[in-house]
Amino acid sequence: MRRILLTVAYDGTNYHGWQFQEGQPTVEGELNKAILSITGEEVCVEGASRTDAGVHAKGNLAIFDTEARMEADKFAYALNSRLPEDICVRASIQVEPDFHPRNVPTEKTYKYRIYRAPFPDPLKRLYSHFTYYPLDIEKMNQAAAFLVGRHDFKSFCSIYTQAKTSVREITEARVEAEPIIVPESQTTSGRQTTAEGETTAEGEMTAGRQTTAGSQMTAGRQMTAESQMTAEGQMTAGSQMTAGSQTTAGSQTTAGRQTTAEGQMTAESQMTAESQMTAGSQMTAESQMTAEGETRAETLGSDEMFHGRQAMDVIITVKGYGFLYNMVRIIAGTLIEVGRGRIPPDRIKEILEARDRRAAGPTAPARGLTLEQIQILGRE
């Protein structure tokens, strides 16, 4: 009889947990059926971690005994051809006949994923817990630090736990956040208003330029025609006068021309000044709009992550040598309350000392939790 150790990954959405339950789909039940179809043996796979319904895993461990002659590493390939697509055996090796992953020192790594955004993402709904509340990551990390070490975690376990002792040791607890780019339809109305404002402003500026240009051309044509008519009239009158009168007329003509010229110069100066003012206003408006846009971009990059407008993935990582029933999910639920400002970070010490489930936060939904790895200590 040989003992085979499996490393198993699975999407727990469609299963009532790891452990076999009569009449219910479970991960253990699917593995038992697949092994039966290969070896013809009815076996009962035993897992290192009996995850709850809806919880996922990337590296759970399980063992089973067999008399089949198949090479140990080939079991992974044979099982995957018979398992449903949401369960995968990532490795299979032969171990000592008395080896059991629950009876050797191990360090487990869990990650709880939270999607924080104004709106949910349908593609994340099965593998993360959604919240639209702003979360203060710094305060969550301050609270998580109080969990590291050896403590009595009775406040952080289900009242239905059957463990002999609630003392456990956490080796690492941290919270990380990664900003996410979401489609424009999910951004705030402020951005949309800004975009519409820019379009309107550009339209108004364009219309202003066209109106100014049209006015300049019309005024120019009118002034030229008036100048021509005035000059022609003065010259005709001058030709009908006597020499002495012609001199006077000539003076008048000259004066008229000077006046007309001065008028043209004045009008041109005014139009030039108006054009400069229009251009200056346009440049000022564009500069203001650009500056506002840059300021908003800077604010979005630094501030909005923590004030409800920036989408982000939040990952709570917890490592330890052993965990109680629902322990990680209660830790996650409590840290979320800290992030929302409902529990101060330093109250974690009081919650631990209370040894009362009612003192901690709620149990976070199962879908956000993934068993990442089980490391067997002292074993290559």
Average pLDDT over residues 52-67: 97
Please state whether the predicted TM-score (pTM) of the whole model is above 0.85. Answer: no
pLDDT, tens digit, for every residue of 266-280? 434 444 444 444 444
Give me the pLDDT at residue 378, please: 77
CA distances from 41 to 38, 71, 79 (A): 8, 16, 14
Mean local confidence (pLDDT), 68-92: 97
Would you please indicate which residues are annotated as catalytic (active-site) residues? Answer: 52
Model confidence at 229, in pLDDT bands (50, 70, 90)? very low
Question: Residue 161: which pLDDT band, with cuts at 50, 70 and 90?
Answer: confident
Q: Give pLDDT, residue 279.
A: 40
Per-residue model confidence as pLDDT tens digits over 175-209: 999 998 876 654 444 444 444 444 444 444 444 44
Flag whether pLDDT at 328 surpasses 60. Answer: yes
Q: State the SS3 of 205-252.
A: HHHHHHHHHHHHHHHHHHHHHHHHHHHHHHHHHHHHCCHHHHHHHHHH
Helix axes 137-145, 327-339, angle to 10 degrees: 140
Q: Are 128 and 306 in contact (CB under 8 A)?
A: no
Q: pLDDT for 337-356, tens place per residue?
A: 999 999 999 999 999 999 99
Res 110: pLDDT: 98
Mean pLDDT of the chain: 78
92 vs 73: CA distance, rounded Å: 5
